[in-house]
Chain A
Amino acid sequence: MSSSSQVTESWISSFCGLLGHEYFAEVSEDFIEDDFNLTGLQSQVPMYKEALEMILDVEPDDDDDEEDEEEEDEEDDEILGDERPTGYRRASDRRHLRIASDLSVIESSAELLYGLIHQRYITSRPGIQQMAEKYELQHFGTCPRVNCVSCKVLPVGLNDTPGHETVKLFCPSCLDVYTPPNSRFQTVDGAFFGTTFGSLFFMTFTELDVGGTRPSNSAADALIAIQAQSAEAKSRNPSTPANVTSINGVAPHNLAPGLGAGNIYEPRIYGFRVSERARSGPRMKWLRMRPADVTELDETRRYWDEHDGDEADRPDEDDMNMVDVAGEGKGVQVDRRKKVTARRRRANGSGNGGGSPMDTNGVGGPG
């Protein structure tokens, strides 16, 4: 009997198989069984113990020999019929009653508990890995924004405590959040995914190409391409230096690739752009902007470039370096940094005779 072919589905996999629960990863039992991972959840979930048992498919009450007992039950029924010992029956009745009255409460508690464990699980190593597989398979869908060209998204919460917001989708290409397209996800609590997961995911998998394949200019994009060109021509720094490999901890090509020149909608009427000064003119372009040269976002350096005076407080070179550059030796880096600074000076028009500490500090000639 125990070797019957129909293996009953675990609570976890049946929960994840429900309609609208497509975003959930299956939390491993090892993770749930480790009490450390459940710290503090007891106070958040009513009927915590029962809910936990339900998630782990542990039969309520103490019996390890549950299955044997049930087999006996059946046999008893057949053989003894009504003449079963009354005490025995009462115990099972009691259990049935309890289950009937509390089942729905326990079920909802179990869902809440599972969600909260899930929030923690997907920030753990195996959990985030599991979500990465789901991400690759596009289980979470794509960004609805046209200029994000179907970039893959992640489920996130806007709050870590349940009962506030439903699950949202975070697009790494435009760094914005969207409502899932299907209404069946509007019953899923955002807290079950949490606020941390979305960002942690892309910090963990830095090698992912978040923007996906951006199409090369097709006929429809011709106008956009021209816009992009003119926008770039206008800007001071034409583009990010090719040797920058990291800005503020992110690879430049992964820093909001769906934003910036060419990815901003330009309203037009009969081909003519609508002026910013028009009442109905564009006001939200900033939301989709991105500097053509991402080193502009290196705030630490910008700050110190503007505050040349306070030399005493100035952090040393390594602490200031929020831009990673590809190069063989330190000398190359320093050289490049010098150039960046020099260019800034010129751009800012605050040239102070080249007497900057930057120029004399640690100048190692190239090579």
Chain B
Amino acid sequence: MDDFNSETDSDYTSYWRDWFISSRGNEYFCEIDEEYLTDRFNLTGLNTEVQYYQYALDLVTDVFDFDCDDDMREQIEKSARHLYGLVHARYIVTTRGLLKMLEKFKKSDFGKCPRVMCDSQPLLPMGQSDIANTSPVKLYCARCEDLYNPKSSRHAVIDGAYFGTSFHNILFQVYPAMLPPKSQRRYEPRVFGFKMHAAAALARWQGEQREGMKERLRKVGIETGFENEDEEVESEEEDDDMEIGDGFEQGQPGAAVAIHDR
């Protein structure tokens, strides 16, 4: 921040916002346009949510010239961050905001899906609630359609409401080309090469549900969006392996172990 202060003022540099989005832990945020912030309509209702609303807004828009002590300054700083977050949730569902977040998504700024079968699919930040201070930010994977916790603890403390519950779904509605193909590949727990019966039975049941869904979609003529389906079906058919863990080989693992450790 000191760096910025030492420079001369310019109409085109947004000091506070520049500092905010470039500071550590705020990598998920994009920069909100000046015009968006200064349009009072976009801020409707936020004055009741944010303490020292006016000062905070002044700080965010770099017109802050209130002389106050450090404690007060600290308070206002905190409010400014909160305000920025709340406006951010509104901004990222606008055309310009979506575009900015899309760029970050393409660069994998939000991280990649930890699920092995998702092949490092880029994630999107989301909130489980639109109300502030209910739950921290989560990451949405469009390939497995599930939510994950951010890896880093500095991201895990960001409020989920700063991204909202709708943004990531809107993004894929606006840019359907960004939707990754869905994958049917999955992990099969095995013991000495034999599939675990309980897990395999569940997987088969899930497969039935999936085929049911595909059938529903096919009836109304909608693409299912799965990749290389034919291969998958084939590999499923040849799965007549024996399975382990179905209760018939009680004591078996112990027996196998006994050989090993004598």
Cβ-defined contact, B260 with A255, below 8 A:
no
With both chains docked as a complex, state the minimum distance between the C-beta of A27 and any C-beta of chain B, in angstroms: 11
Interfacial residues of chain B within 136-154, with CB under 8 A of chain A in the complex: 138, 140, 143-149, 151
* Complex Cα gap A167–B118 (Å): 16
Interface locus among B2-10, B41-49, B58-66, B214-222: B214-222
Query: B residues bordering A, Cβ < 8 Å?
Result: 114-117, 128-129, 134-135, 138, 140, 143-149, 151, 165-166, 169-170, 172-173, 176, 179, 182, 186-187, 189-193, 196-199, 201-207, 209-210, 213, 216-217, 220, 222-226, 244-247, 253-254, 256-258, 260-262
**Residue B198 contacts which of A219, A248, A276 (CB distance < 8 angstroms)?**
A248
Cβ-defined contact, A282 with B151, below 8 A:
no
Cβ-defined contact, A283 with B213, below 8 A:
yes
Closest A residue to B160 by beta carbon equals A220
With both chains docked as a complex, state the minimum distance between the C-beta of B225 and any C-beta of chain A, in angstroms: 6
- Contact flags A257-289 to B (C-beta < 8 A → 1, else 0): 001000001011111001011111011111111
With both chains docked as a complex, state the minimum distance between the C-beta of B226 and any C-beta of chain A, in angstroms: 7
Contacts of B191 in A (CB 8 A): 196, 199-200, 203
Cβ-defined contact, A279 with B176, below 8 A:
yes
Q: What are 25 A-B pairs with beta-carbon distances under 8 A?
A: A34-B262, A123-B256, A125-B261, A126-B261, A175-B187, A175-B189, A175-B202, A178-B114, A196-B190, A199-B196, A248-B197, A248-B198, A248-B245, A249-B197, A249-B246, A256-B199, A267-B145, A277-B220, A280-B169, A285-B213, A286-B207, A288-B146, A297-B198, A297-B202, A299-B201
Contacts of B261 in A (CB 8 A): 31, 34, 37, 124-127
- Contact flags A131-169 to B (C-beta < 8 A → 1, else 0): 000000000000011110000000000100000000010
Cβ-defined contact, A286 with B213, below 8 A:
yes
Greatest chain A CB density within 10 A among B146, B187, B191 is at B146
| Majority DSSP secondary structure for residues of B touching A | mixed
* Complex Cα gap A170–B116 (Å): 10
On chain A, the number of residues with a Cβ less than 8 Å from chain B's Cβ atoms is 68
With both chains docked as a complex, state the minimum distance between the C-beta of A54 and any C-beta of chain B, in angstroms: 23
* Complex Cα gap A220–B146 (Å): 17
Cβ-defined contact, A286 with B206, below 8 A:
yes
Given contacts A199-B245, A269-B166, 14 further A-B contacts (CB under 8 A): A125-B257, A125-B258, A145-B148, A146-B149, A175-B202, A204-B254, A247-B198, A248-B245, A256-B202, A269-B170, A283-B224, A287-B206, A288-B146, A322-B246
